[in-house]
Amino acid sequence: MTNAAAPAPSGRRFPPGLFFGLVAFLVLAPPLFVLGPLLILLVLSRPTTFREWLWIALSAAAGYALGAPTEIGLPSLVALSGGAILAGSFGVLTHAFRQTSTLTRALLALATAVAGVLIWGAVTHLSMPDLDAAVLKDLDATMRALFQGSPQDQIDAAVAAMPDVARLFPGVVALQALAGLVLAAAWYHQVARRPVGRPPAPFGALRFNDHLIWGAIFTLGLSLLPLGDPWQRIAQNGLVIWSGLYAARGLAVGVAALGRWPLFGRLLLIGAAILMFPFAVGSLILVGLADTWVDFRGRLAPPPSGGTHAS
């Protein structure tokens, strides 16, 4: 991974995977989490080219068109306020800590955004029961729209699971924010003429400090203790974040392993993973955890040429 970013060539073509990743994120997650950081990064880099100004305009317009809620409820207000803090802090951290990894800067920006939302909640007397009730209301409307026409037992099962989903709302939003920041940084290094900071590594090379496994183990242990709220809730949402990080690491191992597979084989595997989604996610988490000790990608790398190997 290079430490100093060179000016981006004017004729650079965007990688297809990066393009589809952006489209998928805009459909599945709050657009502010990727378009906001991209806009801030470009503005702070003192844009001079037409392409940079074009992407600034596109980010602002698309962010407003896709992210402006028709009805600003409490969950949307929390996401908007947290997203604004997230984008600003990530831009500042990128300029202040240029040699740190993208994931490290993203985690620091996420911690800053969480602290900002907690302070805002304390000032406005926002309570977790209020947020839970608002999230449940939105989930209920979404679930009933999705399961419209489905058998009543399926609707009842979805409604019964909603309180547990609402409890994990902060962890899910935090994962979306991390993914948005990394994606924004990748697009920024494609768009900016003179990008600041280290670019994200290719997804197939995604890894992070192996000692973080102890944080995941501690969080798991905390979630199993009968501590009650708010500690158990904090631990449960922490487990959501850890699970997402290690699932992403496991997926990166899979991307590296499947790099030489034919396109048909990759599509077949993706289709099977979609059909068995819970099993696939669990498998990715296990692979990501095991990569801490096994280093699958190091084992997959071809041996250096010209050396002698013992039989």
DSSP output for 179-218: HHHHHHHHHHHHH-SS--SPPPPPGGG----GGGHHHHHH
Last residue of a domain, one of 200, 215, 244: 200
pLDDT of residue 12: 54
Q: Are residues 69 and 185 in the same domain?
A: yes
Q: Tell me: the pLDDT tens digits for 40-91?
A: 999 998 899 999 999 999 988 887 777 666 566 777 788 888 889 999 999 9
Q: In the prediction, which pLDDT does 309 show?
A: 45
pLDDT on residue 7? 47
Cα→Cα distances 175→80, 168, 169, Å: 15, 11, 10
Assess contact for 244 and 175: CB atoms under 8 A. yes
What is the reported pLDDT for 303?
61
What pLDDT is stored for residue 122 in this prediction?
A: 85
Same domain, 217 and 196: no
Residue 179 shares a structural domain with residue 118:
yes
Locate 132 and state its tokens.
């839970």
Q: Does one domain contain both 178 and 214?
A: no
In a domain, 13, yes or no: no
pLDDT recorded at residue 308: 46
179-194: per-residue pLDDT in tens? 999 999 999 999 999 9
Quickly tell me which residue has 């406005």 as its tokens: 124
Residues 213 and 76 in one domain: no
Q: At 246, list the tokens.
A: 């290690």
Domain boundary among 177, 200, 223: 200
Segments forming the whole domain that contains residue 182: 21-200
- Alpha-carbon distance of 47 to 44, in angstroms, equals 8
What local confidence, expressed as pLDDT, does residue 5 receive? 45
Q: Are residues 152 and 61 in the same domain?
A: yes
Same domain, 51 and 183: yes
Question: What are the residue ranges in the chain where pLDDT is below 50?
Answer: 1-11, 307-311
Query: How many structural domains compose the chain?
Result: 2
